[in-house]
Amino acid sequence: MRKKILVGILCFLFTGTLVFFGIQFVTKTGFFRKPGDLLFAESFLDSDSERYRGLFEETELRGNITFSYVNSDSPWTPSNDSELGFLVDVFVPIGDFYETKTSITSDEFEEMYASGKDIVSVKNLAPTNKLLAVDNNYYLDSFDSGAKFKYLRIELADLRDKETVESVIQPTLSSFPDKTSVLSFAQTGVTALGRALNTKMNEVGDGRYFSEKIASFLGSFDLTHTSNESSFSERANGANICSDERFIDTLTSIGLDVVELTGNHNLDCGAEDAINTIDKYEMLGIKVVGGGRNAEEAAIPLAISQKGNSVTVLAYNQSTGGATTDNTPGANQYDEEDAKARISEAKARGDTVIVDMQYYECAEYDTSMETLTCTYADSSAGDQVGTFRSLIDFGADVVVGTSAHQTQTFENYNGSQIYYGLGNIFFDQVWWPGTTKSLGLVHYFWNGKLIQTRKFGTIYDDTFQTRLMTDDELETFIKWLNSARSE
């Protein structure tokens, strides 16, 4: 009896074992499970295939995983739980530094992308090339358009592999620009809210009138700058370059963060008004550079540290009047040795350096037509080209002229940027055709580097409402500025 029971138990165990392993054999699980394999789409590059095989060489997968690429005009997300998507690159269209176009169509972008011509990864963007918008969508402003987004798509045969795959892929991924990591800094030219603008203010009664057509654009950037030549004063009238106090709304409406005081008219209504104006800026949280209550204060650089980016802005007045060398208010007088030392200190810290310069002004304007006379950088007294280039030689990354009432040319000098004069953004000079326009700049910083400077144009007429140039107007304007450049 006992023998029969023992034999029965053994038969049961033997049968159970056969069934157990039989099921595993049929289903290819357990002892007979084959490890998952890596499969690659036909379009997958051989070099990429080898790379991913190496990454998963010591990883045991439960099921096959299939690699492919997805190229999209906008951010892409997987459609179901069995897919994973990883952003591996972002490609954008570019022109050279002097490119006149600002935007291309989506069809043009498709052709460029297909040919691989004039396309770069955003990781390789540099100020010496020009990022183009696509259908007026500028990638560094939107981060979700104006580019081709390349994703690694992984399809999972077994959802239990999801965490394993993510743990292998995630450490290999690069970061890409986004709103949390890119610092945008807009620079505008001459602001002088006085004379005829005071008269117009008495008519309209609201400082926002002058900026309403450009306020939303300028206010969209992290930081916005202008070089304001006029102080607020109760004595402001239609004959002086002093500002009605209601003009503070013009400045705050554009989101002004940085006001440059290198101009030669900030003392027109006296030292007390100049000091009170600085007090007003500081009360509003607007940073001041290039001018101050005394020479020591005027010489303090502007230090910007945001979103992992560090920028030093130096601002000087060069022989246009209004500078201080003592305990009185005024602009920061240019001194070559001071500039050289401060640039060197900033570069040693790893900062990007922007130098603004209120240089000798050209006044050879034509009342009947716009001429190139004042667009040439050396049309005024002194060696403007030599002075600005020397600042680049000292180590500056960007040099900007902020005194020119008529926009001057620009250049790529030894891999760095020079803008000799931005022109007027807010002023009353309408009797000279060349002084109603300005070139604006938006600098974009990412991972501690300047990766791009975007050009935009503004224009005003006898209504004194500044507006953005259209794409066609800006293209013509840049062609004009290019024509005045000395090689």
Give the per-residue pLDDT at 34: 53
For the record, the structure tokens of 277 come out as 């104006």
Give the per-residue pLDDT at 2: 62
User: Per-residue confidence at 23, pLDDT binned at 50, 70, 90?
Assistant: low
pLDDT digits (tens, 9 = 90+) for 303-352: 999 999 999 999 999 978 899 999 999 999 999 999 999 999 999 999 99
**381 vs 224, more confident:** 224
Mean pLDDT of 79-93: 97
Give the per-residue pLDDT at 381: 74
DSSP 258-325: EEE---S-TTTT-HHHHHHHHHHHHHTT-EEESEESSHHHHTPPEEEEETTEEEEEEEEE-SSS-EES
Least confident span in 8-17, 154-163, 177-186, 276-285: 8-17
How far apart CA 153 and CA 66 sit, in angstroms, is: 8
How far apart CA 95 and CA 106 sit, in angstroms, is: 15
Given a cut of 70, is residue 459 above it in pLDDT?
yes
Mean pLDDT of 405-434: 97
Q: Is the dihedral of CA 343, 346, 351, 355 positive or negative?
A: negative
Give the per-residue pLDDT at 77: 95
Mean pLDDT of 78-107: 97
Q: Name the residue ranges covered by the structural domains of the chain.
A: 38-172, 182-483
Least confident span in 149-153, 347-351, 365-369, 451-455: 365-369
Give the per-residue pLDDT at 24: 47
Given a cut of 90, is residue 13 above it in pLDDT?
no
Give the per-residue pLDDT at 124: 97
* Mean pLDDT across the chain: 93
Structural element, H or E, at residue 33: none
User: Per-residue confidence at 379, pLDDT binned at 50, 70, 90?
Assistant: confident
Looking at the DSSP bridge assignments, the partners of residue 289 are 260
Mean pLDDT of 439-455: 98
Give the per-residue pLDDT at 33: 46
- Residues 215/479, Cβ–Cβ less than 8 Å: no
- Strand 302-306 vs strand 309-317: parallel, antiparallel, or unpaired? antiparallel
Looking at the DSSP bridge assignments, the partners of residue 404 are none
**43 vs 264, more confident:** 264
Least confident span in 224-233, 242-251, 252-261, 357-366: 357-366
Give the per-residue pLDDT at 178: 97
For the record, the structure tokens of 126 come out as 């540099």
Nearest to 458 by CA among 442, 440, 472: 440
Give the per-residue pLDDT at 31: 45
CATH of domain 182-483: 3.60.21.10
How far apart CA 445 and CA 242 sit, in angstroms, is: 35
User: Per-residue confidence at 368, pLDDT binned at 50, 70, 90?
Assistant: confident
How far apart CA 111 and CA 117 sit, in angstroms, is: 9
User: Per-residue confidence at 363, pLDDT binned at 50, 70, 90?
Assistant: confident
Contacts 24+ apart (CB under 8 A), 128-131: 128/96, 128/97, 128/412, 128/415, 129/94, 129/95, 129/96, 129/97, 130/94, 130/95, 130/96, 130/97, 130/99, 130/452, 131/92, 131/93, 131/94, 131/452, 131/454
Q: Is the dihedral of CA 253, 254, 258, 260 positive or negative?
A: negative
- Residues 220/440, Cβ–Cβ less than 8 Å: no
Give the per-residue pLDDT at 367: 87
Given a cut of 90, is residue 144 above it in pLDDT?
yes
Given a cut of 80, is residue 469 above it in pLDDT?
yes
Rg over alpha carbons for the chain, rounded to the nearest Å, is 31
User: Per-residue confidence at 377, pLDDT binned at 50, 70, 90?
Assistant: confident
pLDDT digits (tens, 9 = 90+) for 227-245: 999 999 999 999 999 999 9
Amino acid, single-letter form, for residue 248: I
Percent of the chain whose predicted confidence (pLDDT) is above 70: 92
